[in-house]
């Protein structure tokens, strides 16, 4: 038996075509308004909630990123590309020696130790939320600072009380602006979902309730180590590293708890 995924026509291409400047050279990208970005984030969260809790066994997508989110004619989002997806094993962690996914979106416990859980997708979702809210890529190699990873950059701003600086200027100065408090709440949920420690991330259902205003967003906890730290990529990495942003000393296996 073979399984097929059948999609409706997605005339607006991928989310990647519209949230990053100059990402689509064939036609001018749409500048997504706040209501449109809000809807896309909620759509993706609901899709992941269905994959994690709506079917048995649950499915872990493993490659949530902007290019794998397709937009229909009304700019509603569809999660695509299940080539790396895995079924869960009765709620247990899946350990693998073959780590698959995209740099910048990989949860640290999965990238470092091959531990795959539903919260690996939550981490990738958090990175995606920060991309949508900021218009900045998960990995920004052109950044003048050492904060190459969007998670390091956004976390630093949030912890210094400058959460508004994470938000795309098009959502602040343009026509498609939104309520400041609500947009900041979405940023905070993205930060929580992309926390380096598994236990401090919400489930996707909890994240969805926070996004919809049905659950209070907790304060952003400290993190033990920025993901851009050399220990994350190893000495042979071509990626730039971030300086330690402060925090407590930890055992790297803390990522697993």
For the stretch 7-27, pLDDT in tens is 788 999 999 999 986 544 555
- CA-to-CA distance for 169 and 189, rounded, in angstroms? 19
* pLDDT for res 239: 30
Higher pLDDT among residues 87 and 5, named by residue: 87
- 248, pLDDT greater than 50: no
pLDDT grade for 28, boundaries at 50, 70 and 90? low
* pLDDT for res 160: 94
Q: What are phi and psi of 155, to 5 degrees?
A: -65, -40
Question: Could you tell me which CATH number the domain at 13-87+94-212 has?
Answer: 1.10.510.10
- CA-to-CA distance for 106 and 89, rounded, in angstroms? 20
Mean pLDDT, all residues of the chain = 82
Q: Where are the domains of the chain?
A: 13-87+94-212
Q: How far apart are the first and last CA of the chain?
A: 38
Average pLDDT over residues 98-118: 86
What pairs with residue 87 in β-bridges? 59
Strand runs labelled E in the chain:
59-60, 69-71, 77-79, 86-87, 94-95, 115-116
* pLDDT for res 74: 93
pLDDT single digits (tens) 119-149 = 999 999 999 999 999 999 999 887 767 778 9
- CA-to-CA distance for 86 and 244, rounded, in angstroms? 34
What pairs with residue 77 in β-bridges? 71
Nearest CA-CA partner of 191 in 131, 120, 102: 131
Catalytic residues: 63
pLDDT grade for 6, boundaries at 50, 70 and 90? confident
- CA-to-CA distance for 193 and 187, rounded, in angstroms? 10
- CA-to-CA distance for 42 and 176, rounded, in angstroms? 17
Average pLDDT over residues 38-61: 95
């Amino acid at each position: 038996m073979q399984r097929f995924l059948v999609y409706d026509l997605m005339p607006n291409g991928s989310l990647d075509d519209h949230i990053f400047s100059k990402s689509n050279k064939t036609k001018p990208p749409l500048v997504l308004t706040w209501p449109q970005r809000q809807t896309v984030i909620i759509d993706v969260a609901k899709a992941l909630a269905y994959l994690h809790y709506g079917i048995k066994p649950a499915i872990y997508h493993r490659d949530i990123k902007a290019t794998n989110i397709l937009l229909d004619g009304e700019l509603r989002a569809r999660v695509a590309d299940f080539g790396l997806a895995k079924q869960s094993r009765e709620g247990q962690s899946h350990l693998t020696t073959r780590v698959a996914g995209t740099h910048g979106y990989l949860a640290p416990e999965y990238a470092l130790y091959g531990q795959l859980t539903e919260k690996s997708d939550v981490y990738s979702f958090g990175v995606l939320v920060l991309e949508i809210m900021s218009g900045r890529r998960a990995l920004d190699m052109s950044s003048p600072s050492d904060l190459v990873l969007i998670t390091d950059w956004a976390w630093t701003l949030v912890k210094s009380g400058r959460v508004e600086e994470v938000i795309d200027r098009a959502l602040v100065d343009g026509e498609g602006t939104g309520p400041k408090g609500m947009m900041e709440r979405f940023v905070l949920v993205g930060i929580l979902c992309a926390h380096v420690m598994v236990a401090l991330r919400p489930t996707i259902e909890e994240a969805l309730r926070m996004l919809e205003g049905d659950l209070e967003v907790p304060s952003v906890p400290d993190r033990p180590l920025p993901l851009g730290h050399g220990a994350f990529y190893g000495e042979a990495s071509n990626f730039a590293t971030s300086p330690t942003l402060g925090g407590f000393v930890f055992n790297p296996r803390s990522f697993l708890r």
